[in-house]
Amino acid sequence: METAHNNLLVEPGHSNASITEKITHIPLTTIRKTSRGWILGFLISFLGMMVFLFAVTILFIRGVGIWGINIPVGWAFAITSFVWWIGIGHAGTLISAILLLFRQNWRTSINRFAEAMTLFAVANAALFPILHLGRPQYFYTLFPYPNIYSLWPNFRSPLVWDVFAITTYALVSLLFWYMGLVPDLSTMRDKAKNVFARRIYGMMSLGWRNSIRHWHHYQSVYFLLAVLATPLVISVHSIVSVDFAYGIVPGWHSTIFPPYFVAGAVFSGFAMVLTLMIPLRSFFKWKGMITDRHLDLMAKIMLSVGLVVAYGYITELFEAFYSGNAMTIFNITDRASGYYSPLYWTLIACNVLVPQLLWSKKVRSAPLVLFVISLLINVGMWVERFVIIVQGLSKDFMPSAWAVFNPTIWDILTFVGTIGVFLTLLFLFVRLLPAISIFEMRELVHHEATHADKDTQPLHLESLGNEGGRDGLIPGK
Amino acid sequence: MNKKKPKLYSLLAKFDTQEDLILATDRVVQAGYQHFDTYAPYPVEALERAMRLKPSPMPYFVLGGAILGGVGGFFMQAYATVVNLPLNIGGRPLFSWPAYIPITFELTVLIGAFAGIFGLFWITRFPQPYHPVFNSEDFVEHGSSDSFYLGIEARDPKFDLEQTSEFLQELGAVLVSEIEA
């Protein structure tokens, strides 16, 4: 229940028409009138994408030997980045699916954007294992496809589970995102002045005409997709964590991994949403729709999952000493004092200490501070995955086999390049599609208007009895 | 060009607010009209109730798809590891079902989601680029942004151009227009 008026999720004074106008305005701006800021941002991101393509071309020509990986550290930047990107995606699904099921109205203005972020992050994530394959042209052998060798993938391997988990996650996220877009695409079709734009949006909108008979089925499917996506979020990062936990490498072989990875995923994902939302909402002047209250709520979620992550760290420490296993104890002490210890303390600072600032209401209502904190958490979470993956591999059971990993320029360029790919896709998304769900905002406007105005009498339909009466004015969500 | 008078598809009434449309819809149902539809730029649950819509069959599509995906996925793995390509790995049992669970789950979700989407396409007959209601310029301009509409189709047995038009005016429509097929 939204009781406090100064905490509104939509600025007062917004109507259906003004919301529609404000959101459709950006994608429908003509090419000539595109803002300079957008062009500049897009060019910088595009440059990053070119860096990625360059690094990958060299990789394809010369092989994974150009990376710093070698035995014993065979997994490093690529797998770290894979886990990190997948984790970022999780916040999008959490916002769009789980908060929908919990009927958290405030998700409305951020869910479309967060879902797009999920899609692009998963696309980036999926690239890494394929690039890491060595012979990426044979990636399709990971799927069960009919072949003359009558071979099957090894269904008992977590790496094959991963293939299924990521594929399912990517496809379901795509469906969910597109489903949510369909009614808004019909608005775009009707608002577009340009014939070409109208045709494209028209085709994508499938002929949606806002009929209540369609809304009826649509709502049902949308809700069911959310129900399906909710356990999916949990399962995907759990399966990713099992890639490690099933191995006997010290620092990997731990039952805490699935929940610990899921919490870390949501943590980094929310940090990424904030990192992107804060500049975006001031750039596009969306502060009336993505209010300070949204930032506050997201910061609170970030703080609470951050505490779960911190609990994970403590459990890891405790388990190591409690197990009495010499190798595990060595692994933990090496983490805090060995070659990679600066990174370990960076991650503790970024993921455990810095988020404690979020307890303060002042910090949560200062967008700039939140932006910096979210950036630090992004860094911290990447470093966390790196330390888990690399430090364990570099010092396992045989001291004679110990070796450290140091990244080469190609490791770094490939990773930095994917940030370029991600931002390029996001820039195109905010320019070409409605980045805020228009129909859900209309619903919210109506909801806030009827609730803010105490004089409005609930609508009573006599023919429907009480059932139609009390909730008559309140839309579905 | 076409000399024949275009066939009438429906009478489309425009309402300013959601509440007006809900009340009007209720009256239309009580008056005994069957072939009508309402349009709102966002889902309105009260309107669905006023139209006396039956519960959506979508959950059955999703359930069917999910069962198909789950059972199919499980048996695919069992067939592969027990019948088609039995590999002795450290003497472990061939039918190692706990290891099949993650993929079984993922396929349950995947096929369930696709069944939901294709079920929706089937029931709503999407993609459907043309519909007579788009012949109304006012509908195209406001239907997907800020107005509420109620259309009574000409094929309805109770439909009578004048009477129905008057009836809609009475219900508080701000605009009633004839929609050509």
Among B12, B26, B82, B106, the strongest candidate for a mutation testing the A interface, having the largest count of A CBs within 10 A, is B106
Backbone angles phi and psi of A444, in degrees to 5: -65, -40
The answer to whether the Cα torsion of A315, A318, A319, A325 is positive or negative is positive
Q: Write the class of the CATH domain B8-54+133-180.
A: alpha beta
Kindly state whether B71 is in contact with chain A, defined as any CB-CB distance less than 8 angstroms. Answer: no
> What count of Cα atoms within 13 Å lies in the side-chain half-sphere of residue A302?
36
Q: How many domains does chain A have?
A: 1
Whether residue A448 is contained in a domain is answered as: yes
- The answer to whether A66 and A59 are in contact (CB under 8 A) is yes
Q: Tell me whether the omega of the peptide bond preceding residue B102 falls within 30 degrees of 0, making it cis.
A: no
Whether residue A477 is contained in a domain is answered as: no
Among B14, B144, B146, the strongest candidate for a mutation testing the A interface, having the largest count of A CBs within 10 A, is B144
Nearest to A150 among B85, B119, B146 (CB): B85
Q: Which residues of A touch B144 (CB under 8 A)?
A: 20, 183, 186-187, 189-191, 208-210
- Which run of H or E residues covers position B151? strand B148-153
State whether residue B37 is helix, strand or coil: strand
Provide the token pair at B40.
């709102």
Whether residue A476 is contained in a domain is answered as: no
Q: What is the rounded CA–CA span in Å between residue A373 and residue A360?
A: 13
State whether residue B160 is helix, strand or coil: coil
Q: What is the rounded CA–CA span in Å between residue A402 and residue A72?
A: 7
Per-residue pLDDT at A103? 85
Q: Which residues of B touch A468 (CB under 8 A)?
A: 46, 49-50
Cross-chain Cβ contact A459/B23 below 8 Å: yes
Cα-to-chain-centroid distance, residue A180: 17
Nearest to A155 among B47, B57, B103 (CB): B103
The answer to whether the Cα torsion of A56, A60, A66, A71 is positive or negative is positive
Residues 6+ apart with CB under 8 A from A355: A302, A303, A306, A307, A373, A377
Distance between first and last Cα of chain B: 16
- The answer to whether A120 and A426 are in contact (CB under 8 A) is yes
Whether residue A427 is contained in a domain is answered as: yes
Tell me which chain A residue has its CA closest to the CA of residue B150: A211
Read off the CATH number of the domain in which A55 is found: 1.20.1630.10
The alpha-carbon gap from A369 to the nearest alpha carbon of chain B, in Å, equals 36
Whether residue A240 is contained in a domain is answered as: yes
Q: Which residues of A touch B57 (CB under 8 A)?
A: 217
Cross-chain Cβ contact A172/B30 below 8 Å: no
Nearest to B123 among A15, A217, A439 (CB): A217
The interface pTM score, or ipTM, of the predicted complex is 0.93
Looking at residue B135, its amino acid is N
Residue-wise DSSP of A188-219 = HHHH--SHHHHHHHHHHTTT---BHHHHHHHH
pLDDT digits 0-9 by tens, B10-31: 999 999 999 999 999 999 999 9
Whether residue A225 is contained in a domain is answered as: yes
Taking one residue from A and the other from B, the number of pairs with CB-CB distance under 8 angstroms is 220
Whether residue A475 is contained in a domain is answered as: no
Kindly state whether B31 is in contact with chain A, defined as any CB-CB distance less than 8 angstroms. Answer: no
- The answer to whether A257 and A244 are in contact (CB under 8 A) is yes
Closest CA to A394 of A73, A77, A76: A73
* Sequence-separated contacts (24+) of A334-343 with Cβ below 8 Å: A334/A391, A334/A395, A335/A251, A335/A387, A335/A391, A338/A391, A338/A395, A339/A391, A339/A394, A339/A404, A340/A387, A340/A390, A340/A391, A340/A394, A340/A404, A343/A383, A343/A386, A343/A387
pLDDT digits 0-9 by tens, A119-157: 999 999 999 999 999 899 999 999 999 889 889 999 999
Whether residue A38 is contained in a domain is answered as: yes
Range of the domain at A112: 5-469
Tallying the residues shown for chain A, one arrives at 477
pTM, two decimals, is 0.91
Residue with tokens 């048996």: B75
Residue-wise DSSP of A355-394 = GGGGGSHHHHT-HHHHHHHHHHHHHHHHHHHHIIIIIHHH
- The answer to whether B69 and B60 are in contact (CB under 8 A) is no
The alpha-carbon gap from B144 to the nearest alpha carbon of chain A, in Å, equals 5
Among A154, A209, A219, A232, the strongest candidate for a mutation testing the B interface, having the largest count of B CBs within 10 A, is A209
pLDDT above 80 for B3: no
Q: Which residues of B touch A170 (CB under 8 A)?
A: none
For residues A268-289, b (16+ Cβ closer than 10 Å) or e, as one string? bbbbbbbbbbbebbeebebebb
Domain extents in chain B? 8-54+133-180, 58-124
Closest CA to A230 of A63, A411, A95: A95
Tell me which chain B residue has its CA closest to the CA of residue A458: B19
Q: List per-residue pLDDT tens for chain A, 477 residues long.
A: 334 444 567 777 788 888 888 888 888 888 888 889 899 999 999 999 999 999 999 999 999 999 999 989 999 999 999 999 999 999 888 888 888 898 888 888 888 999 999 999 999 999 999 999 989 999 999 999 988 988 999 999 999 999 999 999 999 999 999 999 999 999 999 999 899 999 999 999 999 999 999 999 999 999 999 999 999 989 999 999 999 999 989 889 888 999 999 999 999 999 999 999 999 888 888 888 888 899 999 999 999 999 999 999 999 999 999 999 999 999 999 999 999 999 999 999 999 999 999 999 999 999 999 999 999 999 999 999 999 999 999 998 989 999 999 999 999 999 999 999 999 999 999 999 999 999 999 988 888 777 655 444 444 454 444 343 334 433 433
> What count of Cα atoms within 13 Å lies in the side-chain half-sphere of residue A42?
14
Among B94, B145, B149, B152, the strongest candidate for a mutation testing the A interface, having the largest count of A CBs within 10 A, is B145
